[in-house]
């Protein structure tokens, strides 16, 4: 799942900040005081709030970049710095002001922090990757995760024999949940066939789920979406776990799992896919997340499921892979107005709008919406395509129907859009398909634009992948993705998001996707695996065609 609300990186604004810091600011450049950006007199409080948030965000990025430039050795802008970093007193003060959490780490072990900085590139720091990827917490500080069957950071890149970390004895798995850890709260198994309970999960997530670093956007999974995501084939009620306040009955926390068959290289695992972990904001930092995780683990073990897959924007011990988010504007003006997209220096609003303009119609001959009758052909194509990835779900035809064919009964509000290409020259054979799903984000405190409607690229496959001709594959995927953008625009989406998984690096740049500041870490529970490529160069954080073919799992 997109566990991170990623926003595009404003490379130019940070460049300007460095110039400013060096006394070279371009007065005509992309500056907060320029008329284009300042809220007009009499602007609504929301517009002012959004503008203030944008300003705050730019300022923070500017400071980080200026500081990075001063700390890191010259020439490390696009590659990992190798020389050790020594912080001056001023740099320390600046660094701790920007990131107070680092202060305690530094006091405990200055060398460790300096070592961590020496491993980063300015690109890391600029794009925000470092902020969330930095591991100032070593294994010993992960009080919960150090007790779990997951790889340690120090072992993450070492070659290993792939397999379970721990053998679970079913006889030793408690059959009942322990009493909830905090008095006044209790476990509840949610019944998501009940509209009211589905709505409660929706409400909890809408107000308390994942936000971006600056708290400008928060994921807003619709109740249709949750109904689709949480009731996938084989779903179990007892894997929809809630915590309620005993007196008010209010739902204050949630975690869920669905069963999946996951192939990691040559081994297929009966797994759970854990998602939608959420704790009410007022109950944060009380060590309740480990309690929820242990309970979902127990309930999986009870079913004889001893492995799990999950994703998170934050760095935990230890990812099996990391992908990066990319964003393609469909409605640039709105994205600009809500503070999602920057106006690059030297450009104008008109030029930006023109840059992202799309034709009204698709171009691929034979392209049409997918129907239930296409399920077997799509399954066949998808299976063959995913077999080329190191890690992928093994889909059944029931799962393909569930995940790809829009069903009004499951989703009164449409969540997934899927298209197939039927080749008339090959007797109507389905040669390609692609899909995307809708996940809105709330624009916090904005009444003019309360939400951003984002399309996320989901699964796709093409016969061209089997020709062995990478140039042809690139060309075909560009054609298909261009049509996906056209269709998403027609369906009124504001932005199209994609990760660097599957063969996405082949089209991201050509289709005008911009790099986001978010990444998605993939984790396996109780399974040791060699690192899986995530389509990014770890040094430059750029999408990398030479690192494709690893991650084939698209999580919601």
Distance CA 95, CA 98 (A): 5
Query: What minimum distance in Å lies between the beta carbon of 306 and ligand MYA?
Result: 5
Q: Which residues contact 360 (CB under 8 A, 6 or more apart)?
A: 486, 490
CB-nearer residue toward ligand MYA: 220 or 526: 526
Q: Which residues contact 313 (CB under 8 A, 6 or more apart)?
A: 3, 4, 6, 132, 210, 518, 519, 520, 521
Least distance in angstroms from the C-beta of 195 to ligand MYA: 23
Q: Half-sphere exposure of residue 260, counting CA atoms within 13 Å on the CB side?
A: 28
Measured distance CA(358)–CA(490) in Å, rounded: 10
Which of 158, 166, 287, 355 touches ligand MYA (CB under 6 A)? 287
Q: Least distance to ligand MYA from the beta carbon of 211, Å?
A: 7
Among 160, 165, 182, 316, binds ligand MYA (CB under 6 A): 316
Shortest Å distance, C-beta 313 to ligand MYA: 7
Looking at 297, 362, 431, 500, which residue binds ligand MYA (CB under 6 A)? 297
H or E stretch covering 443? strand 429-443
Catalytic, 556? Answer: yes
Tell me how many degrees the CA angle 346-352-354 measures, rounded to the nearest 5. Answer: 130
Q: Which two tokens stand for residue 306?
A: 């001893």
Question: Of the listed pieces 86-94, 237-245, 287-295, 338-346, which binds ligand MYA according to CB under 6 A?
Answer: 287-295
For residues 145 and 221, which CB has a smaller minimum distance to ligand MYA in the complex? 145
Establish if 207 lies at the interface with ligand MYA (CB under 6 A): no
Q: Does 277 bind ligand MYA (CB under 6 A)?
A: yes
User: Which structure tokens are listed for 352?
Assistant: 């930006």
Q: Count of residues binding ligand MYA (CB under 6 A)?
A: 36
CA dist., res. 458 & res. 44, Å (int): 37
Q: Which stretch binds ligand MYA (CB under 6 A): 5-13, 262-270, 284-292, 363-371?
A: 284-292
Distance (Å) of CA 392 to CA 2, 160, 506: 17, 19, 19
- From 285, 350, 425, 546, residue interacting with ligand MYA (rule: CB under 6 A): 285
Specify the stretch interacting with ligand MYA by CB under 6 A; choose among 137-145, 228-236, 329-337, 412-420.
137-145
| Catalytically annotated residue among 262, 330, 473, 556 | 556
Q: Map tokens 């690229």 to a residue.
A: 457
Candidate ranges 24-32, 278-286, 419-427, 546-554; the one touching ligand MYA (CB under 6 A) = 278-286
Q: Closer CB to ligand MYA, residue 80 or residue 132?
A: 132
Q: Which residues pair with 416 in a beta bridge?
A: 437
Q: How far is the CB of 381 from ligand MYA (least distance, A)?
A: 30
Q: Which is nearer to ligand MYA, 118 or 297 (CB)?
A: 297
Q: Is 288 in the site for ligand MYA (CB under 6 A)?
A: yes
The site string for ligand MYA over 510-529 (x = CB under 6 A, - otherwise) reads: ---------------xx---
Question: Considering only residues 220, 224, 272, 362, which one is a binding residue for ligand MYA as defined by CB under 6 A?
Answer: 272
Buried b (16+ CB within 10 A) or exposed e, 150-184: bbebeebeeeeeeeebeebeeeebeeebeebeeee
CB nearer to ligand MYA: give 283 or 345.
Answer: 283
Q: With binding defined as CB under 6 A, does residue 308 bind ligand MYA?
A: yes
Among 131, 165, 181, 289, binds ligand MYA (CB under 6 A): 289
State the alpha helices, DSSP H only, in 36-134.
45-71, 89-98, 101-108, 110-118, 122-126, 129-133
Residue from the set 63, 96, 144, 303 that interacts with ligand MYA by CB under 6 A: 144
Work out how close the CB of 97 gets to ligand MYA at its nearest, in angstroms, rounded to a whole number.
23
Q: Which is nearer to ligand MYA, 308 or 401 (CB)?
A: 308
How far apart CA 535 and CA 282 sit, in angstroms, is 37
Nearer to ligand MYA, 293 or 543 (CB): 293
User: What secondary structure, in 3-state letters, does 329-350 show?
Assistant: ECCHHHHHHCCCCCCCCCCCHH
Tell me which of 260, 262, 264, 279 binds ligand MYA, using CB under 6 A: 279
Distance CA 291, CA 72 (A): 40
Q: How far is the CB of 290 from ligand MYA (least distance, A)?
A: 5
Calpha distance 223→449 (Å, rounded): 20
280/539 with CB nearer ligand MYA: 280
- Give 145 or 459: the residue with its C-beta nearer to ligand MYA: 145
Residue 203 has what DSSP assignment? Answer: H
Residue 248: count other Cβ atoms within 10 Å of its Cβ: 9
Question: Does residue 441 interact with ligand MYA by CB under 6 A?
Answer: no
Q: CA of 117: how far to CAs of 61, 93, 121, 259, in Å?
A: 17, 15, 8, 40
Residues of this chain that bind ligand MYA (CB under 6 A): 3, 142-145, 208-210, 272, 274-279, 284-290, 293, 296-297, 300, 305-308, 310, 312, 314, 316, 525-526
> Which residues are annotated as catalytic?
556
């Amino acid at each position: 799942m997109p566990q991170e609300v990623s926003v595009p990186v404003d490379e130019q604004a940070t460049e300007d900040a460095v110039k400013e810091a060096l006394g070279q600011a371009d007065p005509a450049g992309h500056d907060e005081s320029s008329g284009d950006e300042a809220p007009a007199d009499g602007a609504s409080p929301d517009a002012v709030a959004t503008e203030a948030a944008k300003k705050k965000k730019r300022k923070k990025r500017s400071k980080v970049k200026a500081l990075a430039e001063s700390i890191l050795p010259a020439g490390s802008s696009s590659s990992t710095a190798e020389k050790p970093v020594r912080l001056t007193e001023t740099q320390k003060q600046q660094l701790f002001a920007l990131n107070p959490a680092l202060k305690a780490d530094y006091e405990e072990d200055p060398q460790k922090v300096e070592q961590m900085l020496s491993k980063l590139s300015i690109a890391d720091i600029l794009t925000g990757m470092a902020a969330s990827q930095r591991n100032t917490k070593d294994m010993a500080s992960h009080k919960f995760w150090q007790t779990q069957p997951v790889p340690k950071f120090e072992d993450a890149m070492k070659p290993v024999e792939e397999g379970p970390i721990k053998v679970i004895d079913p006889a030793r798995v408690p059959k009942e949940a322990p009493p909830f850890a905090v008095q006044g709260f209790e476990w509840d198994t949610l019944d998501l066939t009940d509209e009211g309970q589905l709505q409660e999960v929706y409400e909890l997530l809408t107000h308390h789920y994942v936000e971006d670093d600056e708290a400008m956007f928060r994921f807003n999974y619709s109740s249709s979406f949750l109904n689709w995501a949480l009731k996938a084939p084989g779903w179990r009620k007892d894997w929809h776990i809630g915590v309620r306040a005993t007196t008010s009955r209010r739902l204050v926390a949630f975690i869920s799992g669905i069963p999946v068959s996951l192939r990691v290289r040559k081994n297929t695992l009966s797994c759970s896919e854990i998602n939608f972990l959420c704790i009410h904001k007022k109950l944060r930092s009380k060590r309740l997340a480990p309690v929820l995780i242990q309970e979902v683990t127990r309930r999986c073990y009870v079913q004889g499921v001893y492995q799990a897959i999950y994703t998170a924007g934050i760095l935990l011990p230890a990812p099996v892979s990391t992908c990066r988010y990319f964003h393609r504007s469909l409605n640039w003006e709105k994205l600009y107005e809500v503070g999602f997209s920057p106006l690059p220096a030297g450009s104008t609003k008109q030029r930006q709008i023109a840059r992202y303009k799309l034709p009204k119609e698709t171009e691929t001959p034979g392209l049409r919406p997918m129907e239930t009758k296409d399920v077997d052909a799509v399954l066949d194509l998808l299976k063959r395509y995913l077999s080329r990835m190191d890690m992928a779900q093994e889909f059944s035809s029931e799962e393909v129907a569930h995940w790809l064919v829009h069903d009004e009964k499951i989703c009164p509000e449409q969540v997934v859009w899927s298209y197939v290409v039927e080749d008339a020259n090959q007797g109507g054979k389905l040669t390609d398909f692609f899909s995307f799903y809708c996940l809105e984000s709330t624009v916090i405190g904005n009444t003019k634009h309360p939400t951003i409607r984002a399309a996320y690229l989901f699964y796709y496959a093409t016969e061209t992948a089997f020709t062995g001709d990478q140039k042809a594959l690139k060309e075909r995927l560009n054609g298909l993705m261009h049509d996906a953008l056209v269709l998403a625009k027609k369906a009124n989406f504001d932005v199209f998001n994609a990760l660097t998984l599957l063969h996405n690096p082949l089209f991201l740049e050509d289709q005008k996707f911009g790099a986001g500041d978010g990444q998605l870490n993939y984790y396996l529970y109780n399974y040791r695996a060699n690192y899986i490529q995530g389509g990014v160069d770890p040094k430059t954080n750029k999408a990398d065609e030479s690192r494709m073919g690893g991650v084939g799992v698209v999580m919601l």
